[in-house]
A and B are shown apart, each in its own frame.
Chain A
Amino acid sequence: EEQLLESGGGLAQPGGSLRLSCSASGFTFSTYGVSWVRQAPGKGLEWVSGISGDGRTTSYAGSVRGRFTISRDNSKNTLFLQMSSLRAEDTAMYYCAKSLFGGLISWGQGALVTVSS
């Protein structure tokens, strides 16, 4: 069974940093792209960042470009999201998702990030 498990969420101060991890199992991690998607409280889904299976191609939403960095360690089946210069509007549940071009196939349960002083 495919599983994605996020960790690293918590409380961060405005301007601070936080690193999310997503541990994958049940599929050949290195052959799939993976994305981060967030959902602010009471709001809709927002795609945040994506990375190819080999890690060579990365993309970001305009709202996080230059502040967030996506990366992966295929030897450990783990995806990362380094978040810096955090803002109150980054407060959200962050999901990782196994990604095919045609859709985000499998989702984790999410990690809550709260940015507040």
Chain B
Amino acid sequence: QSALTQPRSVSGSPGQSVTISCTGTSSDVGAYDYVSWNQQHPGKAPKLLIFDVSRRPSGVPDRFSASKSGNTASLTISGLQAEDEADYYCCSYTGTYTWVFGGGTKLTVL
């Protein structure tokens, strides 16, 4: 199972919006509406931001939104804040209690 494809890095200024893409195949992202996004700050454990393609867990600001089209999922962060600077990982279910992650995207807030 190959990793999902994400850009290595993205950047934006405070208040702007950025979008991170996540490209898979018809066996993972395209096969299930089970894409999630995780945020990880340096030295910390990952934290779930989005599950089931576009649902936010309680406590996650609505500045974080996500969608999916075909084999590509996207995470959009609006109104960038300094604390959004982190690594972001997409993840897709691939069947039979198996998941695959993207390679991760480093977000820099300029």
Chain A residues at the B interface, C-beta cutoff of 8 Å: 33, 35, 37, 44-47, 50-52, 57-59, 61-62, 95, 99-110
- CB of A47 within 8 A of CB of B36, answer no
Q: Given B45, B47, B50, which contacts A110 in the complex, CB threshold below 8 Å? A: B45
Residue B69 lies at the interface, judged by CB distance under 8 Å to chain A: no
The total of chain B residues at the interface (CB under 8 A) is: 32
Q: Given B48, B52, B89, which contacts A45 in the complex, CB threshold below 8 Å? A: B89
A100 CB to closest chain B CB (Å) equals: 7
Stretch in B10-18, B78-86, B93-101 with 4+ CB within 8 Å of A: B93-101
- CB of A47 within 8 A of CB of B38, answer no
Given known A45-B89, A61-B1, A95-B46, contact A104–B104 (CB-CB < 8 A): no
- CB of B38 within 8 A of CB of A45, answer yes
In angstroms, Cα B26 to Cα A15, docked, is 37
- CB of A101 within 8 A of CB of B96, answer no
- CB of B99 within 8 A of CB of A99, answer yes
In angstroms, Cα B96 to Cα A101, docked, is 9
In angstroms, Cα B48 to Cα A108, docked, is 12
- CB of A52 within 8 A of CB of B45, answer no
In angstroms, Cα B93 to Cα A100, docked, is 9
Q: Which residue of chain A lies nearest to B51 when distances are taken between CB atoms in the complex?
A: A103
Q: Which residue of chain A lies nearest to B100 when distances are taken between CB atoms in the complex?
A: A47
- CB of A102 within 8 A of CB of B52, answer yes
